[in-house]
A and B are shown apart, each in its own frame.
Chain A
Amino acid sequence: MAKPRRLSVVDVDLCVGCMMCVFACSRRFGDGGVARSAIKVASIGGIERGFTVIVCRACPDPPCASVCPTDALNRRDGGGVVLNHRKCIGCGNCVKACPYGAVMWDEEANKPIVCMYCGYCAQYCPYGVIEIEEVKN
């Protein structure tokens, strides 16, 4: 079986704030826009100061999973979580639990959005800011 992977922010100082990754993430579902993106790029107080790239880092012991009242967030081998949509009641506890703010919210579906570590976004990053990598043991 393939080793588990995670998305890594390699060098945020290379980020130009183009949001190509953000758009790519929603495009996985075939739509335009950003409503279903699990990755976010925002300036750190004005674009002259640079950007922050917020995405799930695949914690080995994820706090978001611990606070889910319905066990909708299942721990994944190699860290991070997998969302079971059927169990999720949209309480938003997971959003509050993540110190990075990396659990996004799908306003249209009222459910969390968490990175599934597919690496689709990284293919569109022109500057090598993000990369998909195998999880180290």
Chain B
Amino acid sequence: MPVKDPLSRVLYIDLTLKRFWVEDRRDLFDKYLGGTGVAVSLLREELPRGADPLSPDNVVVFSVGPFNGVYPMASKTVAVFKSPLNSNLGESHAGGRSSVAIRLAGYGAIVIKGASDAPVWVSIQDNRVQFRDARALWGVRSTHTVGRVLREVEGGHGFRSIMRIGRAGEKMVRYACVVVDTFRHFGRLGLGAVFGSKKLKALVVIGKHSIPVVDKPAYRRVYDKIFKSIMETPATRKYHELGTSENVLPLNALGALPTMNLKQARFNCAEEISGEHLAAKFLGRRVSCAHCPVACIHLAALREPYDREPYFYKTTFVPYDYEPIYSLGSMLGVCSTTGLLKLLDKVEALGLDAMSTGVALAWTTEAFERGLITENDTMGVKPTWGDYENYLKIIELLVDQPNEFYATLARGTEYAAKVYGGEDFALTYGGNEMPGYHTGPAAHLGFATGARHSHLDSAGYSYDQKTVGKTIKVEDMVDYLINEERWRQVLTSLVICLFARGIYTPQVVVEGFRPLGVELSESDLLRIGREIHLLKLKFKLDEGFNFSQLRFPKRIFETSTPHGRLDPSFMDTALKLYQSKIEEDLQKFSSAG
């Protein structure tokens, strides 16, 4: 890292004492680049082992990396914390303007500790941190309103990021998200609940500094090369045109689109919730994260008449992406496009993770069908496939938690299934609700073994789709997942959006570092990726994670994939092989110091 780069500055904020200070942590940034690597290191330093995720002991770390604010599509911020959903490593990434704002405010990471006694929002600009009274914002119905208020009272228009929680975070629903700049999210694993437990309503970061570059002409040359490849690669065109929702129809055709709690992997209403249909009938605007020309964020314009007032209409902009379409669309059997959009808007307004919410509702519906829960539990609402009106009611109820059932559901699908039964069809991995890919063995093994139990850890879904019709060798699949997850640790430490993974090859990353005055070889990068991966797994093991306790939900073996029905013994062998490879590597890692 060049001497003048402010990246190594870490801002510590103590919410209990209402204090802040800055430390230079060049040691960490030199070792682990930034992003995931540095964030996990800081979490390990700061978090007392075995801490209650909803107590003041929990720590939230936001981190950016050397490429943010410097190269295009380096547009993500990494958040790590102890997850209240699975009581282990919480890691979630978001774009919007967050990474650029943090980086250009002159920080590489922000560490938030303690808890406030009264609701606050924290405002960061340059060397100033303000703790502001958020009592009047607590309990406000929609995250949109909170955003609107903060936009008015805060400065830095055009150079800021506003991250806030909704009522779900305040009520500590364990899969509450943090909404970033409207329509982007730290979605997974419950960062919103951690904010809520700390009485932290929002974090505003304003940044408009420059990043010094060592070799300026070379910087412009490398920048242009990357920019050109982004604009010309078909790989980014997909996100650019229809957006991620382009995946709905191909996955459906393949028989890999989880539908009605994965009773099926094809949805007869796939057309209605497809990217093509949404673009033709509803697409109102496309927007981008800061410093990314792709504009993958697709907003539907939902126009609704008022019942009692003729000629009055409300037009709401609703973000849609593949994952929320899967979880609140096909998983719930919702055929109505407007119904789906209303569900998407509801989770946005309340600040819930769309994926976890959809999977929790899908489990609820099947548990209700089977009589594991009754109308007594649901307070008279009948969860029924496709009935989005009822799902809208249930979402409100699981945030308010007026009875034991909803309080249980607010703790996550895995927990609810432990209490009420139905674990065989509770689609969770490591306590996290499953992503939308029933593509084959690699996807499910990746959900189980990935450090954040996300499809983005190791992209098994991609391996499955490339190997359809072929016989998968266990060892090849396991090696692919491990290597992919390790390389992704490098990308998410820089912090590159994973949609640009085809652009930022190891060679391009090496070239990108040079003008910044950093000489790293491809093998250095791979070594760092491996170390970060093992560091994360070590954190997980220390916090009680155990490979042998991982389970594959029985449901995944009942519904055919593009690779046919999955074989439990094959999956078991794969998991054991994965475990032994990691354990062996961890031993080498530990003995090497």
Q: Which residues of the partner chain B approach A43 to less than 8 Å between Cβ atoms?
A: 158
Within the complex, which residue of A19, A36, A42, A47 is in contact with B210, where a contact is CB–CB below 8 Å?
A36
Contact B285–A32 (Cβ < 8 Å): no
Query: Count the B residues whose beta carbon is within 8 Å of the partner chain — how many?
Result: 44
**B213 interface residue (CB < 8 Å to A):** yes
A30 CA to B516 CA in the complex, in Å? 11
Give the secondary structure class of A's interface: loop
Q: In the complex, are the beta carbons of A33 and B295 less than 8 A apart?
A: no
Cβ contacts A17-35/B at 8 Å (1 or 0 each) = 1111001001101111111
Q: Which residues of B contact A32 (CB under 8 A)?
A: 69-71, 210-213, 219
Q: Contacts of A126 on B, CB cut-off 8 Å?
A: 231, 293, 295
CB pair A27–B220 under 8 Å, yes or no, is yes
Residues from chain B with Cβ under 8 Å of A46 in the complex: 144, 147-148, 151, 182
Q: Does B344 make an interface contact (CB < 8 A)? A: no
Cβ of B34 within 8 Å of any chain A Cβ, yes or no, is no
A18 to B100, CA, bound (A): 11
Interface readout for B490-523 with A: 1 if CB under 8 Å, 0 if not?
0000000000000000000000000000000000
Q: Is the CB of A35 within 8 A of B208?
A: yes
Instruction: Render A46-70 as a binary contact track against B, CB cut-off 8 A, 1 for contact.
Output: 1110100010000000000000000
B291 adjacent to A124 (CB under 8 Å):
no
Q: What separation, in Å, do the CA atoms of A27 and B159 have in the docked complex?
A: 17
* Known pairs A46-B147, A47-B183; A30 contacts B217 (CB<8 A): yes
Interface size class of A (residues with CB under 8 A): 20 to 34
The minimal Cβ–Cβ distance linking A36 to chain B, given in whole angstroms, is: 6
Give the contacting residue for A48; candidates B182, B208, B209, B211; CB below 8 A: B182
Instruction: Kindly list chain B residues whose C-beta atoms are within 8 Å of the C-beta of A42.
Output: 157-158
Q: Could you mark each residue 112-137 of chain A with 1 if its beta carbon is under 8 Å from any beta carbon of chain B, else 0? A: 00000000000010110000000000
Q: Are A33 and B288 also in contact (CB < 8 A) when A16-B295, A27-B220, A45-B151 are?
A: no
B105 CB to closest chain A CB (Å) equals: 10
Chain A minimum-CB-distance residue to B160 = A42
A99 to chain B, nearest CB (A): 16
Task: Give the CA-CA distance A35 to B106 in the complex, in Å.
Answer: 12
Q: What separation, in Å, do the CA atoms of A27 and B211 have in the docked complex?
A: 10
- Bound-state Cα–Cα, A47 to B183, Å: 9
Assembled-state Cα–Cα distance A50/B297 (Å): 13
B545, CB-defined interface residue at 8 Å: no
Q: How far apart are the CA atoms of A87 and B100 in the complex, in Å?
A: 33
Interface residues of A (CB under 8 A from B): 16-20, 23, 26-27, 29-36, 40-43, 45-48, 50, 54, 107-108, 124, 126-127
6 intermolecular pairs with C-beta atoms under 8 Å apart: A16-B288, A18-B292, A32-B70, A32-B71, A33-B69, A108-B210
